[in-house]
Amino acid sequence: MEKASGVKKSTSFFLRFLRVVIVLAIAIVLAKLLISLKKEPEKNEINNIPPSVKVMIATPVSKVMKVDAFGIVKPRKLVKIAMEVPGRIDYIHPSFIEGGQILKGELLVRIDQRSYKLNQQTGQVRIMQAKTDIESLKQDIENLRNDIKLSKANLDFAKKEFERVKALSENQFASKNSLDRSEQQNLQAKIALQNISNRLSLTDTLMEQKNAALTLAHVDFQKADLSLQKTEIKSEFNGWILDKFVEQGEYVNPGQTLGSIYQKDSLDVDVRIPLEKMKWIESIFENGKTPDARVMMANSDGMDSHAWNAKVARIKARIDEKTRTLPMTLEILNSDVKIKNIFDLKPGTFVKCSIIGETYKNIYVLPRYLLKSDNILLTVNDNHLKMKKVNILRKFEEEVYIDAGLVPGDKIVFSPLPGALDGMALTIKQNGK
């Protein structure tokens, strides 16, 4: 039994080995068959075709240099409203609120005028009293002058009478008493004339005092009238209310700020220009002029409808020490500033400003990406690549301004050219192909 079991195991192992050998033999045969059926690859000759590129023709142009800056719109004329006299507010214009529009000459604020009108009336009474005193003094002067005439006539009569009585007394035709009496009358006439003359001489001083009193009365009246006028504040221009700090019924003191108003259609922009950019506009200042400018809302995506003409109004006297920039003020032209809708300029608007500078002629304006390192441009000359070194006048936004190194008609490569080598052969694409 054990012998029969050993024979079976040997037979099973042999069969498995035989199957493996058969599979391997078949695989080898199939592999040789596939190798024998494989075709050899065809040999193709490599043709060196020059890379194709797109080119643009260099053409000189005239370019206006611009200096861009950002700034904040501010009122050109901003007035803080304040009372010059104390009192209680009894009137405020209905549009005297933030954002309200006020026309020139309209009454903004008024305080209680009753006490000021009484002071004005008191001044008028004082003027009338002073004038009455002057007229009374003039009449006194006239009366004194008439009295002097009468006193002189009386003195002449008394003098003649004294001389007559004296002559009679010398001839013993008049008594001593008559002579003394006539002499006394003559002396009294002289004294009366002297008193009237003295009174008349004093009238000049009295008249000066009366005139001074009249002048002072006029001054008091003018002060009262001026105080009455100061109880009202009227707008000196068409404008917009920027701030409001009081309400009707409040008591205000002199100098207390009630609000502020800025002039309509009159706006400025303060900007700061880096010193290195001043060279593009300084020649205009040297000619005694001021550069023009263009102002647009910084967030308007360049919409021309939101742009305004402006002009450099003045340059500040000091350079900013921290930023090394020169502050200047742009004046937005009144004809361009029109308040029509919410998109129009208002104080506090963030704007982008372009200051128009000098015009350069015969320069080349190219996309900035065409410029390679070391200021090299790729050009095509006789179907070969030529690397040209150019002089950069200015790099501005996405453009580069070239003033030397190119000549009119140069063919500038503007399509990608990997592995560019000076002198390599190129073909120019025609019509973009």
Other Cβ atoms less than 10 A from the Cβ of 131: the count is 14
Other beta carbons within 10 Å of 288: 6
pLDDT of amino acid 3: 47
The tally of CA atoms less than 13 A away on the side-chain side of residue 221 is 16
- Is the separation of the CB atoms in 246 and 259 below 8 Å? yes
Low-confidence ranges of the chain (pLDDT < 50): 1-3, 302, 339-342, 432-433
- Looking at the chain, how many residues does it have? 433
d(CA 93, CA 79): 17
Quote the CA–CA distance of 400 and 58 in Å, as a whole number: 13
Structural contact between residues 281 and 293, judged by C-beta atoms closer than 8 angstroms = no
| Count of other CB atoms within 10 angstroms of residue 259 | 22
Q: Rounded distance, CA 403 to CA 363, Å?
A: 5
Model-level pTM?
0.63
pLDDT recorded at residue 95: 93
Burial profile 83-118: b = 16 or more Cβ within 10 angstroms, e = fewer:
bebebebeebbeebeeebebeeeeebbbbebebbee
The residues facing 274 across adjacent strands are 325
How far apart are the C-alpha atoms of 250 and 109, rounded to whole Å? 11
pLDDT in tens, 147-201: 888 988 888 888 888 788 778 777 777 677 887 788 888 888 888 889 988 888 8
Beta strands in 84-149 (DSSP E): 87-92, 101-102, 107-111
Mean of the per-residue pLDDT values of the chain: 85
Q: Are 166 and 179 in contact (CB under 8 A)?
A: yes
The amino acid that residue 350 corresponds to is F
Using DSSP's 3-state secondary structure scheme, residue 227 falls into helix
How much of the chain is in helix, strand and coil states, percent to nearest 5? 40, 30, 30
Q: In what order do the strands lie in the sheet with 101-102?
A: 78-82, 257-263, 239-244, 101-102
User: pLDDT tens digits, residue range 373-430?
Assistant: 888 888 888 888 888 899 998 888 888 999 888 889 888 888 888 888 888 888 888 7
Distances (CA, A) of 210 to 132, 135, 142, 222: 10, 10, 16, 18
| pLDDT value, residue 281 | 86
Question: How far, in Å, CA of 132 to CA of 126, rounded?
Answer: 10
